[in-house]
Chains A and B, each alone.
Chain A
């Protein structure tokens, strides 16, 4: 089946640093990628949607300058949390799918981000 690889799985860093999370589709073309944030005991909250080669579309309330998304190829999307602060600590999950397909997204295993 379709595999999505997300790295790193867990990262701890100091406040003020920037953190990059990678999401790769290993065996299919991910024309569309989704980035989610999940707080403890809550559901997945969509942050943004990106199509390969285009700017990401951010959901209301998500700071695009804070959460930079790049989707430069059909197999790779990155989420960079810039100047991270403790309130950015969360679980981030990417989803990927192929344009026009009726298949649902395939999810990465998520990244646990802890900002000290």
Chain B
């Protein structure tokens, strides 16, 4: 079964600094999708960034970038120039390919989350 592990329950960073959130996963699939979601206090689930496993290039979205290490099954999120609005829970998520393990219908497997606090 696939699992997603976030080993940092809480982290803090000073405003304008850079922080990296860790995520590892376990799967026997060769093609899959990985995501980072942000959940602010409003509890909306906001997609931050996505990575397709067959793409070697690391995804970037403005201040957010990932370090995708397929062989190590690692998918860390780097937030540069941290802002107060980045304070939130961050969830790493794995999506099997459609029709893959267990007949996936695109369900997401979430890690337990990392609570990030950006301090002024």
Contacts and interface: CB of A to CB of B under 8 A. Distances in A.
Interface of A: 32, 34, 38, 41-44, 46, 49, 51, 91, 93, 95, 97, 99-102, 104-105, 107, 109-110, 112
B interface SS class: loop
Contacts of B33: 102, 104
A interface SS class: strand
Contact-residue size bin, chain B (C-beta under 8 Å from the other chain)? 20 to 34
A99 B110 contact: no
B105 A49 contact: yes
B45 A43 contact: no
B117 to A, nearest CB: 13
Contacts of A100: 98
Given A32-B106, A41-B115, A43-B112, 10 more contacts: A43-B110, A44-B108, A46-B107, A91-B43, A97-B106, A102-B52, A104-B106, A107-B45, A109-B43, A112-B43
Across the A-B interface, give the 10 residue pairs with the lowest CB-CB distance, nearest first: A107-B45, A43-B110, A43-B112, A97-B106, A32-B105, A110-B43, A43-B113, A44-B110, A109-B44, A104-B35
